[in-house]
Structure 1
Amino acid sequence: MEIKLLENQEKKNKIIFSLTGVDIAYANTLRRLMGFEVPVMAIEDVEFRKNSSILYDEVLAHRLGLIPLTTDLKSYDLPNECKCKGAGCASCQVKLTLKASGPGMVYSSDLKSKDPAVKPVFNKIPIVKLLEGQELELEATAVLGQGKVHSKWCPGLIFYKMPNPDKDEFIFTVESWGQLNPKEIVLKAIDVYDKQLEEFSELIKALE
Protein backbone atom coordinates (compact mmCIF):
# COMPACT_ATOMS: atom_id res chain seq x y z
CA MET A 1 0.00 0.00 0.00
CA GLU A 2 1.26 3.46 -0.90
CA ILE A 3 -0.20 6.90 -0.19
CA LYS A 4 0.92 9.99 -2.10
CA LEU A 5 -0.26 13.53 -1.36
CA LEU A 6 -1.29 15.23 -4.60
CA GLU A 7 -2.76 18.51 -3.34
CA ASN A 8 -2.88 20.25 0.03
CA GLN A 9 -5.35 23.14 -0.09
CA GLU A 10 -5.09 24.36 3.51
CA LYS A 11 -7.25 27.45 3.00
CA LYS A 12 -10.06 25.26 1.67
CA ASN A 13 -9.56 22.53 4.30
CA LYS A 14 -9.05 20.09 1.46
CA ILE A 15 -6.51 17.45 0.49
CA ILE A 16 -6.28 15.11 -2.49
CA PHE A 17 -4.18 11.96 -2.30
CA SER A 18 -3.66 8.76 -4.25
CA LEU A 19 -3.93 5.34 -2.67
CA THR A 20 -2.40 2.36 -4.47
CA GLY A 21 -1.78 -1.27 -3.66
CA VAL A 22 -5.25 -1.93 -2.22
CA ASP A 23 -8.47 -3.26 -3.69
CA ILE A 24 -11.81 -1.48 -4.03
CA ALA A 25 -13.17 -3.06 -0.84
CA TYR A 26 -10.39 -1.49 1.24
CA ALA A 27 -10.78 1.90 -0.48
CA ASN A 28 -14.53 1.94 0.07
CA THR A 29 -14.11 0.91 3.71
CA LEU A 30 -11.68 3.79 4.27
CA ARG A 31 -14.11 6.22 2.63
CA ARG A 32 -16.98 5.07 4.84
CA LEU A 33 -14.85 5.21 7.98
CA MET A 34 -13.82 8.81 7.25
CA GLY A 35 -17.38 9.92 6.67
CA PHE A 36 -19.31 7.90 9.22
CA GLU A 37 -16.98 6.71 12.00
CA VAL A 38 -14.63 9.64 12.67
CA PRO A 39 -16.20 11.51 15.63
CA VAL A 40 -16.67 15.28 15.77
CA MET A 41 -18.43 17.69 18.11
CA ALA A 42 -21.98 18.92 17.53
CA ILE A 43 -24.76 20.34 19.67
CA GLU A 44 -27.08 17.57 20.84
CA ASP A 45 -29.28 19.13 23.54
CA VAL A 46 -30.58 22.68 23.99
CA GLU A 47 -32.25 24.15 27.06
CA PHE A 48 -34.20 27.29 26.18
CA ARG A 49 -34.62 29.85 28.93
CA LYS A 50 -36.10 32.58 26.75
CA ASN A 51 -37.27 32.48 23.15
CA SER A 52 -39.61 35.15 21.86
CA SER A 53 -38.24 34.93 18.31
CA ILE A 54 -40.34 33.96 15.29
CA LEU A 55 -38.88 30.41 15.29
CA TYR A 56 -40.02 27.51 17.46
CA ASP A 57 -37.56 25.95 19.92
CA GLU A 58 -37.34 22.78 17.80
CA VAL A 59 -36.35 24.72 14.67
CA LEU A 60 -33.66 26.66 16.50
CA ALA A 61 -32.32 23.48 18.12
CA HIS A 62 -32.04 21.88 14.67
CA ARG A 63 -30.15 24.90 13.32
CA LEU A 64 -27.78 24.92 16.28
CA GLY A 65 -27.05 21.23 15.81
CA LEU A 66 -25.89 21.82 12.23
CA ILE A 67 -23.33 24.49 13.17
CA PRO A 68 -19.88 22.82 12.82
CA LEU A 69 -17.76 23.02 15.98
CA THR A 70 -13.99 22.77 16.25
CA THR A 71 -13.14 19.40 17.77
CA ASP A 72 -10.41 18.31 20.18
CA LEU A 73 -10.31 14.51 19.98
CA LYS A 74 -7.61 14.25 22.65
CA SER A 75 -9.75 15.88 25.35
CA TYR A 76 -13.15 14.25 24.78
CA ASP A 77 -14.59 10.74 24.55
CA LEU A 78 -17.67 9.41 22.85
CA PRO A 79 -20.47 9.30 25.46
CA ASN A 80 -20.78 5.50 25.25
CA GLU A 81 -17.01 5.14 25.78
CA CYS A 82 -16.73 7.69 28.59
CA LYS A 83 -16.09 6.71 32.21
CA CYS A 84 -19.43 8.31 33.12
CA LYS A 85 -21.23 5.85 30.79
CA GLY A 86 -22.94 8.68 28.94
CA ALA A 87 -24.39 10.39 32.01
CA GLY A 88 -22.53 13.56 31.06
CA CYS A 89 -19.24 14.91 32.37
CA ALA A 90 -16.35 17.17 31.39
CA SER A 91 -14.74 14.30 29.48
CA CYS A 92 -17.60 13.79 27.03
CA GLN A 93 -19.50 17.07 26.73
CA VAL A 94 -19.10 20.83 26.71
CA LYS A 95 -21.59 23.60 27.40
CA LEU A 96 -22.24 26.61 25.18
CA THR A 97 -24.44 29.57 26.08
CA LEU A 98 -26.18 32.21 24.03
CA LYS A 99 -27.91 35.39 25.16
CA ALA A 100 -29.16 37.98 22.69
CA SER A 101 -31.87 40.61 22.30
CA GLY A 102 -33.29 42.42 19.30
CA PRO A 103 -33.23 44.15 17.03
CA GLY A 104 -30.55 42.33 15.06
CA MET A 105 -29.34 39.04 13.64
CA VAL A 106 -28.09 36.32 15.97
CA TYR A 107 -24.99 34.62 14.57
CA SER A 108 -22.99 31.53 15.47
CA SER A 109 -20.36 33.83 16.98
CA ASP A 110 -22.89 34.64 19.72
CA LEU A 111 -22.45 31.10 21.05
CA LYS A 112 -20.01 31.25 23.98
CA SER A 113 -18.25 27.99 24.80
CA LYS A 114 -16.96 26.88 28.19
CA ASP A 115 -13.99 25.36 26.33
CA PRO A 116 -12.07 27.61 23.89
CA ALA A 117 -11.07 24.50 21.93
CA VAL A 118 -14.71 23.82 21.05
CA LYS A 119 -16.37 26.71 19.24
CA PRO A 120 -18.18 27.43 15.96
CA VAL A 121 -15.93 26.97 12.94
CA PHE A 122 -17.59 29.90 11.16
CA ASN A 123 -18.65 33.07 12.98
CA LYS A 124 -21.22 34.40 10.53
CA ILE A 125 -23.71 31.53 10.33
CA PRO A 126 -27.13 33.19 10.85
CA ILE A 127 -29.30 31.57 13.51
CA VAL A 128 -32.34 33.85 13.78
CA LYS A 129 -33.28 37.50 13.32
CA LEU A 130 -34.66 39.16 16.43
CA LEU A 131 -37.03 42.11 16.26
CA GLU A 132 -37.33 44.92 18.78
CA GLY A 133 -38.21 43.47 22.18
CA GLN A 134 -37.51 39.84 21.21
CA GLU A 135 -35.03 37.79 23.26
CA LEU A 136 -33.16 34.52 22.99
CA GLU A 137 -31.35 32.83 25.86
CA LEU A 138 -30.23 29.21 25.95
CA GLU A 139 -27.67 26.68 27.10
CA ALA A 140 -26.54 24.02 24.63
CA THR A 141 -24.68 20.77 25.22
CA ALA A 142 -22.25 19.55 22.58
CA VAL A 143 -20.99 15.96 22.46
CA LEU A 144 -18.86 13.82 20.20
CA GLY A 145 -20.83 11.80 17.70
CA GLN A 146 -20.49 9.93 14.41
CA GLY A 147 -21.95 10.53 10.98
CA LYS A 148 -23.55 7.08 10.96
CA VAL A 149 -25.91 8.35 13.68
CA HIS A 150 -26.68 11.82 12.26
CA SER A 151 -25.26 13.93 9.45
CA LYS A 152 -24.45 16.78 11.87
CA TRP A 153 -21.55 14.61 13.06
CA CYS A 154 -20.16 14.10 9.56
CA PRO A 155 -16.64 15.64 9.40
CA GLY A 156 -16.70 16.53 5.72
CA LEU A 157 -17.11 15.53 2.10
CA ILE A 158 -15.14 12.40 1.22
CA PHE A 159 -15.07 10.59 -2.10
CA TYR A 160 -12.70 8.80 -4.46
CA LYS A 161 -12.42 8.12 -8.16
CA MET A 162 -10.54 5.55 -10.23
CA PRO A 163 -8.71 7.16 -13.19
CA ASN A 164 -8.01 3.73 -14.64
CA PRO A 165 -10.41 0.93 -13.58
CA ASP A 166 -7.82 -1.66 -14.64
CA LYS A 167 -5.37 -0.42 -12.01
CA ASP A 168 -5.73 -0.44 -8.23
CA GLU A 169 -5.31 3.33 -7.90
CA PHE A 170 -7.80 5.48 -6.03
CA ILE A 171 -7.74 9.29 -5.97
CA PHE A 172 -9.28 10.46 -2.69
CA THR A 173 -10.64 13.94 -2.02
CA VAL A 174 -11.16 14.86 1.63
CA GLU A 175 -12.81 18.25 2.20
CA SER A 176 -13.38 19.05 5.87
CA TRP A 177 -16.26 21.14 7.24
CA GLY A 178 -13.70 22.56 9.67
CA GLN A 179 -14.24 20.50 12.82
CA LEU A 180 -10.98 18.64 12.09
CA ASN A 181 -8.36 19.24 9.43
CA PRO A 182 -8.37 16.74 6.52
CA LYS A 183 -5.23 14.93 7.68
CA GLU A 184 -6.78 14.37 11.11
CA ILE A 185 -9.82 12.82 9.44
CA VAL A 186 -7.68 10.36 7.47
CA LEU A 187 -5.47 9.42 10.43
CA LYS A 188 -8.42 8.98 12.79
CA ALA A 189 -10.18 6.78 10.23
CA ILE A 190 -7.11 4.53 10.07
CA ASP A 191 -7.04 4.38 13.90
CA VAL A 192 -10.71 3.38 13.94
CA TYR A 193 -10.04 0.71 11.31
CA ASP A 194 -7.16 -0.74 13.34
CA LYS A 195 -9.31 -0.80 16.48
CA GLN A 196 -12.16 -2.56 14.69
CA LEU A 197 -9.77 -5.17 13.30
CA GLU A 198 -8.34 -5.79 16.77
CA GLU A 199 -11.84 -6.24 18.20
CA PHE A 200 -12.73 -8.62 15.37
CA SER A 201 -9.53 -10.59 15.99
CA GLU A 202 -10.38 -10.95 19.68
CA LEU A 203 -13.87 -12.20 18.82
CA ILE A 204 -12.41 -14.83 16.49
CA LYS A 205 -9.93 -15.96 19.14
CA ALA A 206 -12.76 -16.31 21.64
CA LEU A 207 -14.38 -18.86 19.32
CA GLU A 208 -11.37 -21.17 19.42
Structure 2
Amino acid sequence: MQLKLLKKEELKTTFIIKETEPYIVNALRRMVLEEVPSMAIEEVTFVKNQSALYDEIVSHRMGLIPLTTDLKSYNLPDDCKCKGKGCARCELKLVLEAKGPCTVLSENLKSKDPKIKPAFPDMPITKLLKGQTLQLEATARLGKGKQHAKFAPGLAYYKSLPILTAENADLKKLQEKCKNLTVKGKNLEVKDLNEWTEADEQTCEEHGVKVEYSDTDFVFILESW
Protein backbone atom coordinates (compact mmCIF):
# COMPACT_ATOMS: atom_id res chain seq x y z
CA MET A 1 0.00 0.00 0.00
CA GLN A 2 1.22 3.50 -0.88
CA LEU A 3 -0.11 6.78 0.50
CA LYS A 4 0.40 10.17 -1.12
CA LEU A 5 -0.85 13.47 0.30
CA LEU A 6 -2.72 15.32 -2.41
CA LYS A 7 -4.10 18.40 -0.68
CA LYS A 8 -4.28 19.67 2.89
CA GLU A 9 -6.60 22.44 4.02
CA GLU A 10 -7.65 23.65 7.46
CA LEU A 11 -10.57 21.22 7.78
CA LYS A 12 -10.13 18.97 4.75
CA THR A 13 -7.38 16.56 3.71
CA THR A 14 -7.20 14.56 0.48
CA PHE A 15 -4.74 11.78 -0.22
CA ILE A 16 -4.31 8.90 -2.65
CA ILE A 17 -4.10 5.28 -1.53
CA LYS A 18 -2.51 2.99 -4.11
CA GLU A 19 -2.03 -0.76 -4.48
CA THR A 20 -4.71 -1.88 -2.04
CA GLU A 21 -8.18 -3.44 -1.95
CA PRO A 22 -11.58 -1.72 -1.57
CA TYR A 23 -12.36 -3.53 1.70
CA ILE A 24 -9.17 -2.14 3.29
CA VAL A 25 -10.03 1.43 2.28
CA ASN A 26 -13.58 0.97 3.57
CA ALA A 27 -12.22 -0.43 6.85
CA LEU A 28 -10.07 2.69 7.20
CA ARG A 29 -13.13 4.88 6.57
CA ARG A 30 -15.12 3.03 9.22
CA MET A 31 -12.29 3.24 11.76
CA VAL A 32 -12.14 7.02 11.34
CA LEU A 33 -15.90 7.43 11.79
CA GLU A 34 -16.39 4.85 14.54
CA GLU A 35 -13.22 4.85 16.66
CA VAL A 36 -11.97 8.46 16.82
CA PRO A 37 -13.47 10.10 19.97
CA SER A 38 -15.42 13.33 19.64
CA MET A 39 -17.44 15.60 21.92
CA ALA A 40 -21.23 15.76 21.64
CA ILE A 41 -24.13 16.84 23.83
CA GLU A 42 -25.60 13.91 25.75
CA GLU A 43 -28.05 15.49 28.20
CA VAL A 44 -30.12 18.69 28.25
CA THR A 45 -31.82 20.13 31.33
CA PHE A 46 -34.49 22.71 30.51
CA VAL A 47 -35.16 25.62 32.84
CA LYS A 48 -37.66 27.25 30.49
CA ASN A 49 -38.73 26.42 26.93
CA GLN A 50 -41.39 28.68 25.45
CA SER A 51 -40.49 27.93 21.82
CA ALA A 52 -42.83 26.10 19.44
CA LEU A 53 -40.66 22.96 19.66
CA TYR A 54 -41.00 20.29 22.33
CA ASP A 55 -38.08 19.74 24.73
CA GLU A 56 -37.26 16.42 23.03
CA ILE A 57 -36.95 18.04 19.60
CA VAL A 58 -34.71 20.85 20.87
CA SER A 59 -32.55 18.26 22.68
CA HIS A 60 -32.24 16.18 19.52
CA ARG A 61 -31.20 19.19 17.44
CA MET A 62 -28.59 20.18 20.02
CA GLY A 63 -27.18 16.66 20.17
CA LEU A 64 -26.41 16.86 16.45
CA ILE A 65 -24.46 20.14 16.72
CA PRO A 66 -20.77 19.26 16.08
CA LEU A 67 -18.48 20.42 18.88
CA THR A 68 -14.75 21.03 18.74
CA THR A 69 -12.82 18.46 20.78
CA ASP A 70 -9.80 18.53 23.08
CA LEU A 71 -8.60 14.95 23.55
CA LYS A 72 -5.77 16.02 25.88
CA SER A 73 -8.11 17.43 28.52
CA TYR A 74 -10.98 14.93 28.49
CA ASN A 75 -11.35 11.17 28.90
CA LEU A 76 -13.93 8.75 27.63
CA PRO A 77 -16.43 8.14 30.47
CA ASP A 78 -15.49 4.45 30.72
CA ASP A 79 -11.78 5.33 31.00
CA CYS A 80 -12.23 8.12 33.54
CA LYS A 81 -11.37 7.73 37.23
CA CYS A 82 -14.98 8.56 38.11
CA LYS A 83 -16.10 5.46 36.16
CA GLY A 84 -18.54 7.48 34.08
CA LYS A 85 -20.36 9.10 37.00
CA GLY A 86 -19.41 12.54 35.67
CA CYS A 87 -16.53 14.85 36.55
CA ALA A 88 -14.52 17.72 35.05
CA ARG A 89 -12.27 15.22 33.25
CA CYS A 90 -15.01 13.51 31.27
CA GLU A 91 -17.86 15.98 30.83
CA LEU A 92 -18.50 19.65 30.19
CA LYS A 93 -21.42 22.00 30.85
CA LEU A 94 -22.79 24.42 28.27
CA VAL A 95 -25.55 26.94 28.93
CA LEU A 96 -27.98 28.69 26.63
CA GLU A 97 -30.17 31.69 27.39
CA ALA A 98 -32.11 33.44 24.64
CA LYS A 99 -35.08 35.78 24.50
CA GLY A 100 -37.25 36.45 21.46
CA PRO A 101 -37.82 37.66 18.90
CA CYS A 102 -34.80 35.85 17.46
CA THR A 103 -33.47 32.71 15.83
CA VAL A 104 -31.55 30.72 18.41
CA LEU A 105 -28.25 29.62 16.88
CA SER A 106 -25.53 27.24 17.98
CA GLU A 107 -23.33 30.24 18.80
CA ASN A 108 -25.74 31.03 21.64
CA LEU A 109 -24.42 27.95 23.44
CA LYS A 110 -21.85 29.21 25.94
CA SER A 111 -19.19 26.72 26.98
CA LYS A 112 -17.29 26.74 30.26
CA ASP A 113 -14.22 25.58 28.31
CA PRO A 114 -13.17 27.82 25.38
CA LYS A 115 -11.62 24.80 23.62
CA ILE A 116 -15.02 23.09 23.40
CA LYS A 117 -17.57 25.05 21.40
CA PRO A 118 -19.91 24.58 18.41
CA ALA A 119 -17.83 23.95 15.30
CA PHE A 120 -20.37 25.83 13.18
CA PRO A 121 -21.74 28.93 14.97
CA ASP A 122 -24.66 29.61 12.62
CA MET A 123 -26.62 26.35 12.96
CA PRO A 124 -30.28 27.14 13.82
CA ILE A 125 -31.80 25.44 16.87
CA THR A 126 -35.24 27.06 17.06
CA LYS A 127 -37.09 30.37 16.67
CA LEU A 128 -38.48 32.50 19.46
CA LEU A 129 -41.31 35.00 19.11
CA LYS A 130 -41.54 38.24 21.05
CA GLY A 131 -41.64 37.52 24.77
CA GLN A 132 -40.63 33.85 24.41
CA THR A 133 -37.62 32.51 26.33
CA LEU A 134 -35.34 29.50 26.03
CA GLN A 135 -33.09 28.65 28.96
CA LEU A 136 -31.23 25.37 29.43
CA GLU A 137 -28.05 23.60 30.51
CA ALA A 138 -26.42 20.93 28.35
CA THR A 139 -23.87 18.26 29.26
CA ALA A 140 -21.32 17.20 26.64
CA ARG A 141 -19.23 14.04 26.83
CA LEU A 142 -16.66 12.23 24.73
CA GLY A 143 -17.94 9.32 22.69
CA LYS A 144 -17.31 7.27 19.56
CA GLY A 145 -19.24 7.04 16.33
CA LYS A 146 -20.01 3.36 16.91
CA GLN A 147 -22.14 4.46 19.88
CA HIS A 148 -24.05 7.15 17.98
CA ALA A 149 -23.55 9.08 14.73
CA LYS A 150 -23.41 12.38 16.64
CA PHE A 151 -19.97 11.35 17.93
CA ALA A 152 -18.52 11.01 14.41
CA PRO A 153 -15.51 13.37 14.20
CA GLY A 154 -16.30 14.47 10.65
CA LEU A 155 -16.76 12.96 7.21
CA ALA A 156 -14.63 10.23 5.64
CA TYR A 157 -15.25 8.93 2.13
CA TYR A 158 -13.40 7.62 -0.90
CA LYS A 159 -13.76 7.03 -4.62
CA SER A 160 -11.85 5.05 -7.21
CA LEU A 161 -9.15 6.82 -9.18
CA PRO A 162 -10.33 7.59 -12.74
CA ILE A 163 -8.32 6.18 -15.65
CA LEU A 164 -8.69 8.19 -18.87
CA THR A 165 -7.77 6.71 -22.24
CA ALA A 166 -7.83 9.07 -25.23
CA GLU A 167 -8.71 7.07 -28.33
CA ASN A 168 -9.98 9.31 -31.14
CA ALA A 169 -10.61 12.35 -28.97
CA ASP A 170 -10.23 16.01 -29.86
CA LEU A 171 -8.21 16.84 -26.75
CA LYS A 172 -8.05 20.57 -27.34
CA LYS A 173 -11.82 20.84 -27.69
CA LEU A 174 -12.31 18.56 -24.69
CA GLN A 175 -10.10 20.73 -22.51
CA GLU A 176 -12.22 23.76 -23.42
CA LYS A 177 -15.35 21.90 -22.30
CA CYS A 178 -13.87 20.36 -19.15
CA LYS A 179 -11.61 22.76 -17.24
CA ASN A 180 -10.69 20.03 -14.75
CA LEU A 181 -8.53 18.21 -17.31
CA THR A 182 -4.91 18.75 -18.29
CA VAL A 183 -3.63 17.56 -21.67
CA LYS A 184 -0.06 16.25 -21.72
CA GLY A 185 0.76 15.07 -25.21
CA LYS A 186 -1.76 12.31 -25.91
CA ASN A 187 -2.50 11.74 -22.23
CA LEU A 188 -5.15 13.25 -19.98
CA GLU A 189 -4.86 14.02 -16.28
CA VAL A 190 -7.44 15.25 -13.79
CA LYS A 191 -6.35 18.53 -12.18
CA ASP A 192 -8.41 18.29 -9.00
CA LEU A 193 -9.66 14.81 -8.07
CA ASN A 194 -11.94 16.37 -5.45
CA GLU A 195 -13.84 18.13 -8.22
CA TRP A 196 -14.13 15.14 -10.57
CA THR A 197 -17.85 14.51 -11.17
CA GLU A 198 -20.18 12.40 -13.30
CA ALA A 199 -20.64 15.45 -15.52
CA ASP A 200 -16.89 15.42 -16.28
CA GLU A 201 -17.10 11.70 -17.05
CA GLN A 202 -20.01 12.25 -19.43
CA THR A 203 -18.18 15.10 -21.19
CA CYS A 204 -15.12 12.91 -21.68
CA GLU A 205 -17.15 10.04 -23.13
CA GLU A 206 -19.00 12.39 -25.49
CA HIS A 207 -15.62 13.48 -26.88
CA GLY A 208 -14.24 9.99 -27.43
CA VAL A 209 -12.38 9.45 -24.16
CA LYS A 210 -12.73 6.07 -22.47
CA VAL A 211 -13.30 6.45 -18.72
CA GLU A 212 -12.54 3.56 -16.38
CA TYR A 213 -11.98 3.33 -12.64
CA SER A 214 -9.14 1.62 -10.83
CA ASP A 215 -9.77 -1.38 -8.58
CA THR A 216 -6.61 -0.76 -6.54
CA ASP A 217 -6.09 3.03 -6.40
CA PHE A 218 -8.40 5.39 -4.49
CA VAL A 219 -8.89 9.02 -3.55
CA PHE A 220 -9.58 9.30 0.20
CA ILE A 221 -11.10 12.48 1.65
CA LEU A 222 -11.29 13.50 5.32
CA GLU A 223 -13.38 16.47 6.44
CA SER A 224 -13.07 17.36 10.11
CA TRP A 225 -15.52 19.37 12.19
For 2:39 and 2:20, the matched residues in 1 are separated by: 31
C-alpha distance in 2, partners of 1:134/1:42? 27
Task: Please give the TM-score of this superposition, normalised by the length of structure 2.
Answer: 0.73
Q: Residue 83 of structure 1 aligns to a residue in which SS?
A: coil
Tell me the residue number matched to 1:169: 217
Specify the code of the residue in structure 1 equivalent to 2:8: N
Q: Distance in 2 between matches of 1:58 and 1:123?
A: 22
The code of the aligned residue for 2:128 comes to: L
Matches of 1:67 and 1:9, distance apart in 2: 22
1:39-80 CA distance string (max 9 Å, x none): 111101000011111111000000111111111111111111
Residues 1:113 and 2:115 are matched in the alignment = no
* 1:73 correspondence with 2:121: no
The one-letter code matched in structure 2 to 1:104 is C
Pairwise CA RMSD:
1.6
Higher CA-based Rg: 2
Return the offset for 1:123. 1.4
CA distance in 1, matches of 2:214, 2:45: 55
Q: Which amino acid aligns with 1:97?
A: V
Number of aligned residue pairs: give it. 175
How far did 1:168 drift?
Answer: 3.1
- Name which structure has the greater RCO, CA cutoff 8 Å, separation 6+: 1
Residue from 58, 61, 65 that aligns with 2:59: 61
Q: Secondary structure, in 3 states, of the residue corresponding to 2:150?
A: helix
Matched residue SS, 2:116: coil
Aligned sequence identity (%): 55
Counterpart of 2:25 in 1: which secondary structure?
Answer: helix
Greater share of helix:
1
Where does the alignment leave 5 or more consecutive residues of structure 2 unmatched? Answer: 164-212
Distance apart, 1:21 and its partner CA: 4.4
Distance 1:25 1:122 in 2: 33
1:4 aligns with 2:4: yes
Question: What is residue 148 of structure 2 aligned with on the other side?
Answer: 150
More strand by share: 2
The aligned residue for residue 27 of structure 1 is 25
Distance 1:129 1:96 in 2: 19
Give the Cα–Cα distance (whole angstroms) in 1 for the partners of residues 133 and 92 of structure 2.
24
Normalised TM-score (structure 1) = 0.78
Residue type of the partner of 2:160?
A: M
Residue 102 of structure 2, aligned match among 101, 104, 123: 104
* Aligned-partner Cα distance in 1 for 2:122–2:150: 18
